[in-house]
């Protein structure tokens, strides 16, 4: 299966509690054989605090 997600950010959990939820969901789906692509806008507010490359 394949899933595409358009969201706020997954690369920075700073000020964004949803990032950890998305990371866990993407990781779990990946273990089940899913291919997940997450698209996010390059926002300077979050870009300065990225904790995931």
**Along the 53 residues of the chain, how does pLDDT read in single tens digits?**
999 999 999 999 998 889 999 999 999 999 999 999 999 999 898 888 898 87
pLDDT of residue 47: 87
Contact indicator for 43, 1 with CB cutoff of 8 Å:
no
Distance CA 31, CA 9 (A): 21
pLDDT of residue 41: 92
pTM of the complete model: 0.82
Q: Is 17 exposed, middle or buried (0-12, 13-18, 19+ CB in 10 A)?
A: exposed
pLDDT of residue 29: 98
């Amino acid at each position: 299966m394949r899933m595409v997600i358009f969201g706020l950010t997954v690369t920075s959990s700073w000020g964004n509690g949803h990032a950890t939820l998305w990371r866990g969901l993407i990781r779990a789906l990946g273990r089940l054989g899913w291919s997940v692509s997450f698209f996010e806008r390059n926002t300077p507010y979050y870009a300065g605090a990225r904790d995931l490359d």
